[in-house]
Amino acid sequence: MTHDFISLKADDKSGTFDGYLAMPPSGTGPGLVLIQEIFGVNHTMREVANSYAQKGYVVLVPDLFWRQQPNIELGYTPDEWQKAFGFYKAMNELKGIEDIQTSITTLRTHPAVKGKVGVLGFCMGGKLAYLTACRTDVDVAVGYYGVGIESALDEAKNITCRLVLHIAHLDQFCPPEAQQKIQQALGEKNSFEVYVYPDVAHAFARPGGDHFDKAAAELSQIRSIAAIKAEIGPF
């Protein structure tokens, strides 16, 4: 497996931004855009990218905070949390989706990508994965504990791909009423899967995190990989 940073040109011609590209051992495979948490393309995101590359995917993690400050890489101390929330609150969501579409297009035209392209997002990236399903040509979308999905449920009618959402039952950023709205709007659609994990909190799938739950993380990954593989391979 190899990995490196590449440069991407923004669709609005406002500049360029970096993306972490992890290649599978075979050198080719389906494409997967990994959408960051609020901490930037940090060690955690790169490790997730590497793990999916090992499973056969060409994985690209775009820097979605570049319009504020390029190459943000934060940890999880209280001060870094505050900085991360600042970047998150100031982010232009519309531009973020544009940059994700740029990343999808980059993978579709990359010589190593054979087949289709999916997205996988965590936290902030969980909602962006949902919006990517609503607004782009992606082939499958998986979102973990997305924040604010309930405010964009009217866009679900535009989704034409398979969608998988993982919700933490004790997520302070997605309270019970929000979870109920998401389940009611999406839970009964044939191409949508909404899973709620009891007794776990936000970021339950982040290894080493305060709320990491091994059982929920493993089950959610099994479901994620099953959906992604069914839609885009590798076959």
- Give the pLDDT confidence of 20-67 residue by residue, as tens digits: 999 999 999 999 999 999 999 999 999 999 999 999 999 999 999 999
Residue 168: φ, ψ to 5°: -90, 125
* pLDDT score at 81: 97
Residue-wise pLDDT for 57-85, tens only, equals 999 999 999 999 999 999 999 999 999 99
Catalytic residue among 139, 171, 199, 213: 171
Instruction: Find where tokens 């996988």 sit.
Output: 120
Rounded to whole angstroms, the maximal C-alpha distance in the chain is 45
For range 111-119, the mean pLDDT: 97
| Catalytic residue flag (residue 202) | yes
Alpha carbon dihedral 195, 114, 20, 174, in 10-degree steps, equals: -10
Phi, psi of 101 (to 5 degrees): -60, -40
What integer pLDDT is reported at residue 190 of this predicted model?
78
Average pLDDT, the chain: 97
- For the packed helices 93-108 and 124-135, what is the interaxial angle rounded to 10 degrees? 70
pLDDT at 193: 96
pLDDT tens for 139-196 read 999 999 999 999 999 999 999 999 999 999 999 999 999 999 999 999 877 789 999 9
**Quick one: tokens of 213?**
């739950």
Q: Which domains does the chain have, with CATH numbers?
A: 2-232 (3.40.50.1820)
* Predicted TM-score (pTM) of this structure: 0.97
Model pLDDT, residue 195: 97
Q: What is the mean pLDDT of residues 118-140?
A: 99
pLDDT band at 1 (very low <50, low <70, confident <90, very high): confident
Per-residue confidence (pLDDT) for residue 189, from 0 to 100: 75
| Catalytic one of 63, 202, 210, 213 | 202
Q: Are 231 and 225 in contact (CB under 8 A)?
A: no
For residues 215-227, give the mean pLDDT: 98
Q: Label residue 212 by pLDDT band (50, 70, 90).
A: very high
Q: What number is the average pLDDT over the span 192-210?
A: 96
Q: Specify the pLDDT at position 188.
A: 73
